[in-house]
Amino acid sequence: MDRVRRAEKPRPALLQAMIDAFGQPDLRRRILITLGLLVVFRFVAHIPVPGVDAAALKDLFEKNQLIGMLNLFSGGAMRNMSIAAMGVYPYITAVIIMQLLTPVIPRLAALAKEGEAGRAKVNQYTHWLTVPLAAVQGYGQLVLMEREGVIANVGLSGSELLPTAAMVIVMVAGTMFLVWLGELITEYGIGNGVSMIIFGGIVAGLPQQVGQGYIERGNMGGLAFYLVLALALVVLIVVFTEAHRRIPVQYARSVFRGGRMYRQSGATHVPIRVNSAGMIPLIFGMSLVILPGTVASYFVAPGGGGVAGFIYDLFSATSWFYWLLFGLLVIGFAFFYTMVIFQQQNLAETLQRQGAFVPGIRPGRPTAQYFNRVITKITWGGAIFLGVVAISPYVMRNITGIKVLAISSTAIIIMVGVALDTMRQLESQLLMRRYEGFLK
């Protein structure tokens, strides 16, 4: 019998893990729920707002970079100008605003320290903030679409008020519906729901990218090199996403045995990620660097030229200045956002409250200063990494000569991050059931 088992060809770890997952009824149910909710999202993404000019919408996406970025966070729904055209972007904006306001407003800071109940309250405030943000963004998108000839009868007066209000309400409802789908995925499925919504939209656009690559079949050498660079970029993102520094920590506690108290100590570590900011600096940097060009596009004369034409050309995606500024902004925002998040965690106070300490460092203020020095040093690596990822589309395009393919660095980081997070959750579920996982 043992010889027969040894003769069997072993399956790859990931494939075997997926087979094991589908063999468990509860895990199979979670995976199917996730897939089913993503299918619902894709159906909603194809329900258009009435009165959309499809040809004008396609032309707008080809020349407006801001629309392309918003389409990324809508999960591809904005390309169809659907009722879910804003996607989960207003919710992401609300989350970022709440994270930035938490250390500033004492009430929010106190709620963040109250455990699960406090976090639930902050999450409720985030949902409330999402509604007005979605309404403002929805109206702004409709005005932009009207200027570009994509849709008509947008305004806040006369006969335009009621149709505009109806479209805004429907778009806000579409955003909140996607947020609800994301929370259902988080609770009953696998992975972070909001991230999975964005991930599903990016994956749905991959066939179009493949079709664009077919256009460059005359430059097979450049196309092959482009794919090699793209694969290397994915590997680099995986390495830096998983990279972290372990800070050794010791816990001292007292236990009673036989009527006497003994002191015991346990050693563990606090992992500090090299890229603690994730994709947020890319979003901030992209939002700022495309703003001048987008504003200037409304004032450019038909023949070009002038100050508006110069600004539009300077902040075009084909300009080296655009990508240089983008990279520098990403590096700056990486430091800013990392420090904001790190201050909210307040690791030194948490360790002191739990009776833990870093060996060789006094508890309290010296520990906080030590953590600040460490996080500053390793954030340099994460910030430079994000800066390289930010300018990678420009570098790849100029090295290979491939112009029709446009790989978004933000989209790649989202895809890699969501895939790794989903794999980790599936791994933990399998390990709880005594299966060998696939993350070695």
Given a contact cutoff of 8 angstroms between Cβ atoms, the answer to whether 291 and 415 are in contact is no
Task: Say what the pLDDT of residue 2 is.
Answer: 43
Q: Which of 267, 262, 265 is nearest to 252 (CA)?
A: 265
Is 173 a residue whose pLDDT tops 70?
Answer: yes
Query: What average pLDDT is seen over the chain?
Result: 77
pLDDT, mean of residues 91-112: 81
The CATH homologous superfamily of the domain defined by 212-440: SecY subunit domain (1.10.3370.10)
CA distance 15 to 34: 19
pLDDT of res. 303: 59
Structure tokens at 125: 């405030």
Of residues 189 and 427, more confidently modeled: 189
Long-range CB contacts (< 8 A, 24+ apart) of 60-68? Answer: 60/145, 60/148, 60/150, 64/148, 64/294, 64/297, 65/290, 65/293, 65/294, 65/317, 66/290, 66/291, 66/294, 67/144
Of 210 and 181, more confident: 181
pLDDT band at 36 (very low <50, low <70, confident <90, very high): very high
Give the residue, 168 or 306, on which the prediction is more confident: 168
HSE-up (13 A, CA, CB side) for residue 101: 14
Domain pair 25-204 / 212-440, same fold: yes
**What pLDDT shows up at residue 392?**
85
Give Cα 36 distance to the centre of its chain.
Answer: 22
Mean pLDDT confidence for 28-52: 86
Average pLDDT in the 315-328 region?
83
pLDDT digits (tens, 9 = 90+) for 63-99: 665 666 667 666 667 777 888 888 888 888 888 888 7
Q: What is the pTM of this model?
A: 0.74
Dihedral in degrees, nearest 10, Cα atoms 265, 267, 273, 277: -20
Instruction: Please report which helix (H) or strand (E) contains residue 245, including its range.
Output: strand 244-257
pLDDT digits (tens, 9 = 90+) for 259-315: 554 444 556 777 888 888 877 788 778 777 877 776 776 676 655 667 777 887 787
Residue 128 has pLDDT above 90, yes or no: yes
Lowest mean pLDDT among 103-112, 301-310, 311-320, 345-354: 301-310
For the segment 46-50, the average pLDDT, to the nearest whole number, is: 81
What whole-number distance in Å separates Cα of residue 157 and Cα of residue 226? 51
The whole-number pLDDT of residue 176 equals: 92
The CATH classification number of 25-204 equals 1.10.3370.10
Between 218 and 416, residue with greater pLDDT: 416
Q: Specify the range with the lowest mean pLDDT, choosing from 154-158, 165-169, 183-187.
A: 154-158
Please state the domain extents for the chain: 25-204, 212-440
Q: Residue range 318-346: average pLDDT?
A: 83
Tell me: pLDDT of 12 over 50.
Answer: no
